Structure 1
Amino acid sequence: MPSTVEIVDSFKDTIIQIATQAGTGTGFYLRQYDLIVTNNHVVDNNAEVTIAGKQFEKALSRVWYTDRKHDLAFLQAPAQVQLPEIKLGEYIRMKDGDPVIAIGHPYGLNYTATQGVISKVDRVREGLKYIQIDAAINPGNSGGPLVNMSGEVIGVNTFIIRGGDNLGFALPEQYLRTALDIYAPYKGKPSTRCHACEFLVLPENIDNGKYCPSCGSEVKLPELPKEEYEPVGVSKTIENILKALGKDIKLAREGVNIWSVKEGSAKIVIRYNPENYFIASDAYLCLLPSDGMKIKPLYQYLLQENYHNKGLVLSCQNQNIVLSRIIYDLDLSQENGELLFRQLFQKADAYDDILKKEHGCLDRVEE
């Protein structure tokens, strides 16, 4: 039987980060079906989402299957990427007290794996069985795998009870396996499973474009919108600026009023908070040098550069060196925004090179 460390390590390359305009979540890749599994509430009625993993850069992924009743969704796997194989276990073999590992990797957070035990193997909620666990689950980890001590997926981490002391719930593997087998013959077609009768609705059998042909319940296929999503106000200005600077907006979106882009080896995260009226842009450069003798001259260099830079500030956040700019939203226009962001992007890429070449700073490790 593999160790906990070996189990967690075997999953790192199969855990997928998922982002929409509304938020972030987790998924995992199953090679047997060549699909990414996540929760339906993670994709949030989107037919296309952003995905990223340790073996590939951010990319757009098509949502092929949604299932409101079981809170499942299946996504297109990244093209031309060979990801490791993980296997589905057998939920029926699990029992109360069995040790499990909840794994996730939401955007903006470190890869997380928490160990616990099954509190109740068949907790019934709204007519479905769930695995109740005491392993801590972050809300952003929704859609990640629940793993047994043989390294097999026995559930999909689905929800927590807020205010509860590590009360997490995972959808058992048997529901997931059934959904995968139902969809497998139609892979590559948008589909949804009726929440009332569990009939698989496809473009060729949907009644009048919005009703289940089996029971008549209203359903919604994950179809690409005829019109692209358009933000409003300051968010729209920010996206127009990023477009003008050659950035792919769909890939840049990481949630509500959050964007992330790369410039050279630097990662720039832009956050807009309408409540305090400020746009914060943080360019994550490199890491502090491991040689302690280089720290003091590095700090001196950062302070000297801050004295000369107008509106840009170099700082240290934990081990990261960060170049930041704060903009008051009423001061932002298309023209000055292009100037300010272009300057930030160019300076970030240049500083990253200087700090590594001249001050012994280390490459930043991507999450």
Structure 2
Amino acid sequence: MDVQQIIESFQPAIIQIATQTATGTGFYVKEFDLIVTNEHVIGNNAEVTIAGKLFAKTLSRVWYTDRKHDLAFLEAPKNAILPELKLGNYESMKDGDQVLAIGHPYGLNYSATQGVISKIDRIRDGLKFIQIDAAINPGNSGGPLVNDNAEVIGVNSFIIRGGDNLGFALPVNYLREALQLYLPNKGQPSTRCHSCNYLVTPANIDSKKYCPSCGTEVKLPIMPEKETEPIGVSKTVEEILKELGKDVKLAREGQNNWSVKEGSAKIKINYNPENYFITGDAYLCQLPTDATRIRPLYQYLLKENYRMNGLVLSCVKQNIVLSSIVYDLDMTKESGVEIFQDLFKKADEYDDYLKKEFGCVDRLEE
């Protein structure tokens, strides 16, 4: 199987994961009906947002955490038929073997980086890791490391900062051991003690916070009675989205980033604490394929910009984008509701109008 075939076969089982503070990658293991990712991707969350090629964005329970091996298992999406990925044999791998690191680096969907195994058994903190020269960038964490037989041979885990393409993956034998350990308790929140490897569950945890085997303090991925509230501008943005009827949990895409749909338009909201601006970018349709209609389209966009107050239409590559920008100190919940309500409403209207009047085409999405 060539590289392109491997990537295409894996894409439907590669999962995007987002929390209030981070984003990452996971992959579905059909044999256990679980999504695998890194523990550092899900953080202290008992529930995260997931999305994939074959299912819409939804919430997923965190069932298992393992700080020592940096592993976490999530509930698989319901009513989604996902392909089977084969777990390979770590012992058969050797230095110099070709590998692929698959994930969502920097938010780019379904990216794959090809490389070779630099050292098959690099020891770090008492564990073996596969050292590779395929870059594991932010967002790639938790994705599969794949051999040329289209088998998962590791979980992409971390990089050494400052190192040129120096990435590390947890070998698949650790993953298989963890999956088999958790299987009898599937559907229960569980955590593996980072001191003695004992599986801690609600039934055996000591005083609700200690490992019953060695007494180490542990934390089960249990849903909190009250969700941790965001603070500052993030809190204001989420209050605005709630007021506009959006599901805030599903909208989150990492720290200070949100994404919602309004009709056929996709709106991305970002807060930059370095320049204090909140931006809302509604990605509408794409430029028409008929070149003779582009000039009239540009003229229309310029006229609309002259007419509108607080919103700007622009072209970003092939995409037509409707944008709003506001200084954080100038935005209250009330004014924010008005600003974003106007953005959402006009985004849906413009998207339909531009396709009808100028032959603009639907935006391609991965």
TM-score range, shorter chain: over 0.9
- Give 1:215 shift: 0.8
- Give 1:250 shift: 0.8
Conservation of the 8 A alpha-carbon contact between 1:18 and 1:106: no
- Give 1:275 shift: 2.6
SS at match of 1:343: helix
**Partners in 2 of 1:149 and 1:170 — Cα distance?**
16
Residue 329 of structure 2: aligned partner: 330
1:265 partner amino acid: S
Deviations 1:303-322 (A, max 9, x none): 11111111100111122111
Q: Which range moved further: 173-182 or 106-115?
A: 106-115
Residue 210 of structure 1: aligned partner: 209
- Give 1:292 shift: 2.3
2:261 matches 1:271: no
1:221 partner amino acid: L
Root mean square deviation of aligned Cα: 1.1
Conservation of the 8 A alpha-carbon contact between 2:106 and 2:138: no
1:192 partner amino acid: T
- Give 1:107 shift: 7.1
Deviations 1:32-81 (A, max 9, x none): 11000000000011100010111111111000000000000000001111
Residue 358 of structure 1: aligned partner: 357
Deviations 1:4-58 (A, max 9, x none): 1100000111100000111100000011110000000000111000101111111
Conservation of the 8 A alpha-carbon contact between 1:25 and 1:107: no
1:14-93 aligned within 5 A: 14-93=13-92
**Partners in 1 of 2:297 and 2:95 — Cα distance?**
54
1:16 partner amino acid: I
- Give 1:366 shift: 2.0
**Partners in 2 of 1:13 and 1:98 — Cα distance?**
25
2:218 matches 1:219: yes
Q: Which range moved further: 268-277 or 88-97?
A: 268-277
Residue 101 of structure 1: aligned partner: 100
- Give 1:186 shift: 0.7
1:153-232 aligned within 5 A: 153-232=152-231
Conservation of the 8 A alpha-carbon contact between 2:69 and 2:170: yes
* 5+ residue gaps, structure 2: none
Residue 113 of structure 1: aligned partner: 112
SS at match of 2:253: strand
2:9 matches 1:10: yes
Residue 305 of structure 2: aligned partner: 306
* 5+ residue gaps, structure 1: none
2:259 partner amino acid: S
1:218 partner amino acid: E
Conservation of the 8 A alpha-carbon contact between 1:29 and 1:37: yes
**Partners in 2 of 1:283 and 1:88 — Cα distance?**
40
**Partners in 2 of 1:357 and 1:121 — Cα distance?**
57
1:94 partner amino acid: M
- Give 1:225 shift: 1.1
Q: 1:96 to 1:88 in 2, by over 3 A?
A: same
Conservation of the 8 A alpha-carbon contact between 1:18 and 1:49: yes
- Give 1:106 shift: 5.0
- What is the count of residue pairs matched by the alignment? 366
Conservation of the 8 A alpha-carbon contact between 1:131 and 1:172: yes
Deviations 1:143-201 (A, max 9, x none): 00000001010000000111111001000000000000000111100000000110000
**Partners in 1 of 2:172 and 2:2 — Cα distance?**
22
**Partners in 1 of 2:89 and 2:55 — Cα distance?**
30
Deviations 1:266-316 (A, max 9, x none): 111111122322111111111222232222222111111111111100111
**Partners in 1 of 2:209 and 2:92 — Cα distance?**
39
SS at match of 2:360: coil
2:300 partner amino acid: Y
Q: Which range moved further: 5-14 or 289-298?
A: 289-298
Residue 237 of structure 1: aligned partner: 236
1:140 partner amino acid: G
**Partners in 1 of 2:298 and 2:110 — Cα distance?**
30
1:173 partner amino acid: V
SS at match of 1:362: coil
Conservation of the 8 A alpha-carbon contact between 2:22 and 2:41: yes
**Partners in 2 of 1:309 and 1:94 — Cα distance?**
61
1:277-288 aligned within 5 A: 277-288=276-287
SS at match of 1:254: coil
SS at match of 2:113: strand
1:142-157 aligned within 5 A: 142-157=141-156
- Give 1:90 shift: 0.5
Conservation of the 8 A alpha-carbon contact between 1:107 and 1:254: no
- With normalisation by structure 2, the TM-score equals 0.98
Deviations 1:191-233 (A, max 9, x none): 0000011000000000111111111111110011111121222
Conservation of the 8 A alpha-carbon contact between 2:269 and 2:281: yes
